[in-house]
Amino acid sequence: MSARPGKYLALIPVLAAYLGMFVFGRVQPDMWQLVAMLAFYCCLGQAFNLFLGMTGYVDFGYVAFVGVGTYGMALTLSRLSGVEGIGFGALVIGLLAAAGMSAMLSIAVGAVALRLRGAYFAIATIGVNEGFRYFIEGARIWNGSEGIIFSKDLRAIFGRETAIALSTFWADVFVIVIGASAAVVTLIYMRSKIGFALTALREDEDAAKVIGIFVTKYKIIAFITSAVFAGLLGATAWALKLTYVYPPDAFEIHYTVEAIIIVMLGGAGTLLGPVVGGLLYGLSKYWLAIILPGFQLLIFAPIILVIIVAFPEGTVGYLKKKVRGTALERYIV
């Protein structure tokens, strides 16, 4: 911050967006669940963008990290519900477990897949989520295909009212905080050696290697960070909020696709992009589901196509170009 005072000004719009969601939800409490859904999409995009945006690598197995994080929290709550006076300690342990488990999975996947490039990386990760799901079901770990339903455990630990508040309010607040933290970390990376190395490797991996950048190391750093945020998102938005986890639901590739769409809509590699993409995606889905129940996807697909054709670099990517050279440049990153 000392060297260049304007270095972190770009955080203002993105943090304002997260704060705005929170404030809107508080002012308009009967729309809090809408805010929760939007925050989920923004946070999913923000965490995914940390890796895809900075490296240009597409991880098709990304949802596995969200799923593993969900299991981290679900296992903690269901196993610790009998411990006397555990209280909010269970949440802390759950979040740590989620972060730890997704980090471990990302190290395992990254150690192998990150040695591959571009399309080969995408192919190598495509099966991670399905593979992990079949591992849980086939090996019958973590309750296998029956999943974990832990609403009663949440009640046993916190009591009925607090458990409901955790599921319908605090879980969403956590998601907003996680999304905002992912944005902060993204900017810190962008403004540090890690970001410069990743930009170099994104533009030309061979050239980056030649100038002496240990590309695998930086890729792994970005990969693990992104996975940890995904795990925390799972622990809150899926575990704490919905209080159940079934393997087919938690490892559904659909969510990876949604993350890609959100990042593309907003602009890959931009800081503000995932928030804009998440809001665009979430709001249009929500309104179309209300106005045209059953037909929204027919309308939604062409809208996405048009946006992506009109703004190939995403809406924020387009905006960034427009404000280049103006005073706004420092805010739109």
Partner 1 sequence: MRRSVWKVLFGVFSLVALVGLLLAGPAAALDKVVIGHPGALSGKYAKAGEQARGGIEAAVKWVNETRGGIEVDGRKVPLEYKNYDCESKKESVTSLIERLVTKDKVHAIFTPYSSGLTLAGAPIAEKYGIVYMDHGGASDKIFKQGFEYIVQTIGPGSKYHAGTLDMIKKADPTAKKVALAYEDSEFARSVMDGAKQHATELGFDIVFERTYPKGVTDLTPLLSALKATSPDIVIGGGHFEDGQLFNRQMADLDINVRAFSLIAAATLPAFYEALTYLAEGVMGPSHWEYGVTFDPDAAAKEGLQWIGPSQDEFVQLFKDALGKDMIPDYHAAEAGAAVLALVLGIEQAKSVDSDKVRAALGDMTFMSFYGSWKIDKTGKQIGHDMVDVQWQNGKRVIVWPAGARTAELYYPMPTFAEKAAGKKATK
Binding site for partner 1 (CB under 8 A): 12-13, 16, 20, 23-24, 27-28, 30-34, 36-37, 40-41, 134, 137-138, 144-147, 149, 151-152, 155, 160, 163-165, 167-168, 237-238, 241-244, 246, 248-249, 285-286, 289-290, 293-294, 296-297, 327, 331
Tell me how far, at minimum, the Cβ of 198 lies from partner 1, in Å.
Answer: 28
Tell me how far, at minimum, the Cβ of 331 lies from partner 1, in Å.
Answer: 7
Dihedral pair phi/psi, residue 143, rounded to 5°: 75, 5
Encoded tokens for 27 = 């002012």
Encoded tokens for 189 = 């990376």
Tell me how far, at minimum, the Cβ of 80 lies from partner 1, in Å.
Answer: 17
The three-point CA angle 243-172-219 to 5° equals 95
Encoded tokens for 332 = 């739109």
Tell me how far, at minimum, the Cβ of 29 lies from partner 1, in Å.
Answer: 8
Distance CA 207, CA 300 (A): 40
Residue 22 or 318: the one with the smaller Cβ distance to partner 1 is 22
Dihedral pair phi/psi, residue 149, rounded to 5°: -115, 120
Residue 223 or 255: the one with the smaller Cβ distance to partner 1 is 255
Answer yes or no: are the C-beta atoms of 6 and 161 closer than 8 Å. no
Tell me how far, at minimum, the Cβ of 209 lies from partner 1, in Å.
Answer: 40
Answer yes or no: are the C-beta atoms of 144 and 137 closer than 8 Å. yes
Residue 248 or 312: the one with the smaller Cβ distance to partner 1 is 248
Tell me how far, at minimum, the Cβ of 45 lies from partner 1, in Å.
Answer: 13
The three-point CA angle 91-92-93 to 5° equals 90
Largest CA distance in the chain: 61
Residue 136 or 215: the one with the smaller Cβ distance to partner 1 is 136
Beta strands per DSSP E along the chain: 148-149, 244-245
Residue 116 or 283: the one with the smaller Cβ distance to partner 1 is 283
Residue 188 or 329: the one with the smaller Cβ distance to partner 1 is 329
